[in-house]
Every structure is written in structure tokens, then in C-alpha cells.
A = this chain, B = another copy of it.
Amino acid sequence: MVGDQKEINDTLPGDSGSGTFYAVGVGPGDPELITLKARRILENCNFWLCPAARENGQSSALRIASTIINVEKKNILTHHFPMKHVVRGQQADPELLKAWQAAARQVMTHLKRGEDVAFPTLGDPALYSTAYYLYETLVEEAGHINVEFVPGVSAIGATASAAHQPLCLGNEYLAVIPATFDDRRLKQALEDFDSIALMKVHRILPQLIGLLDELQLTEKAILVEKTSLEDQRVWYNIKEAIDKPLHYFSTIIIRKNQ
């Protein structure tokens, strides 16, 4: 499945001895929301590189995947990627750069031996996944690699399902917004769009509620914590969550045309 117009880096000639790097979306939390394809690829790869938010911490993606895949005989490296805000167009934090480069070197060792490497990543790789930083670093260092991205169920889709609300219908526009709180820009999007999905809101809830109150949108907001997990919570009155210690799997959806 290669593009027509531009060669992409997955099937260059003479490449047959190289392994493939698979960035695999494992969905929002419930292991049953893993796709058949993700399961097959994770089962077939013996080497996994797993992202962890804390040093010596557990990888959420690994925890989800290992619920349905026997990982006993896998060679699993949990790699610490510091949770720092990345501002596109600016040079990344040196600590982050170092983490990606170290991970890339380990991945390359296996790919060069012809071994495939899987990188399980939360939700859908298309939305804010560390997998792309690693992929870019790999391409920078190696020129090209064999790569496949496996899409997964996103946290925003799962949040909407949990709330029994669509994100958008008909001619509605949807804005997807990350955790960073940028008052002016966020306000504009909240005013202009029919629906808004706000990801990882656990640290900005009080500020956010202030802005939603101002725009009379608080009553349209639904907060879902730990979407799709057994201890999932759905808050139809988001103000009741304001003083709660929210998990970082916390998403708010706002649909104006309810």
C-alpha cells in the first residue's frame, strides 16, 4: 500500500534484509478495543519498545497490550519519554531529544538484524503519539526505514461512545485540542466550532471551566475519566470533578447541538 506520487520509505529496493518498525495503536484502555491487526502484529514481533511517562514507570500501552497477548517470551524494553510539552516549529527539549535518540539507536540495532520492532502506543497513533517523534528520529539517523502505522481506536472516539454522544453529525465541524491551555486560541475554537474534544484535561480543569462558564458552554461539556476502563467515570456536571484527583486519561467533549 504505497503512494503513487512519492516514494515512501517502506519498500525501497535492496531492503529485504531489514526489519520493519510497527507503530501500533492499542486503543484507549480496554484491551478488547485492540484491533485484530494490532494483535497479530504485536504477537508476531518479538521485540517491543514501550513508552513510559515516568522514569522506571510502567507503560500504559504495554499494560493494555499484555492483557491479551502473552508477553513472557518477548524482548520488551520500556523506554522513558519525559512528558514535556512539545511546541512544533521549536527545537525540542534536550532531555526529550536524548530519549528519542537513545530509543532510535536500540530500534535500529534490531531492524539492521532483520528483526521487526513493535512500538505499542495509546489510542490512535495519528493523535499526539510519541511514535512519530521516534519515527522522525529513526529516519533522520538511518535515511529510511521500513515502517507501518497501525491505526487504533482513539480516546476521543471512545469518550464519545461512553457518553452516548456523537462528536459530530451532518455538517458539523469538530475541533480536537490538546491539554495545553492557550486562552485566546482555545476561546476562538470554542466559539467557532460545533463540537470540541479536549484531551488530557486533568491539569487544566479549573481554568477550563472558567472559560467554558464565560462562553456558557459548561452545561454542554461531558468529562470522561479512564475512558473504556472498568473504573471509567462519566461526569455530566464537570464542576463536580473540579477538586478531584483526575487520571491523565481525562477527555472533555462539548457538542453544541445536543
Q: Is B3's CB under 8 angstroms from A151's CB? A: no
**Shortest Cβ distance from A166 into chain B, in angstroms?**
5
| A232 → chain B closest CB, angstroms | 5
The answer for the CA separation of A233 and B3 in the assembled complex, in Å, is 6
A120: CB under 8 A from chain B?
A: no
Interface of chain A: mostly helix, strand, loop or mixed: loop
* Inter-subunit contact A168/B128 (CB<8 Å): yes
Interchain CB contact under 8 A, A173 and B171: no
**Tally of this chain's copies:** 2
Report the interface size for chain A: residues with CB under 8 A from the other chain.
Answer: 85
A2, closest chain B residue (CB): B234
Q: At the interface, yes or no: A172 with Cβ under 8 Å from chain B?
A: yes
Stretch at the interface among A51-59, A111-119, A235-243: A235-243
**Residue A205, interface by CB 8 Å:** no
A15 CB to closest chain B CB, in angstroms? 16
CB-nearest residue of chain B to A162: B1
- On whether the beta carbons of A177 and B182 are closer than 8 Å, the reply is no
Q: With a CB–CB cut-off of 8 A, which chain B residues contact A249?
A: none
Contacts of A192 in B (CB 8 A): 188-189, 192
CA of A115 to CA of B130, assembled, Å: 43
Interface on A for B, CB 8 Å cutoff? 1-6, 8-10, 25, 27-28, 30-37, 39-40, 68, 85-89, 124-129, 132-133, 135, 147-154, 156-158, 160-178, 180, 182, 185, 188-189, 192-194, 228, 230, 232-237, 240, 257
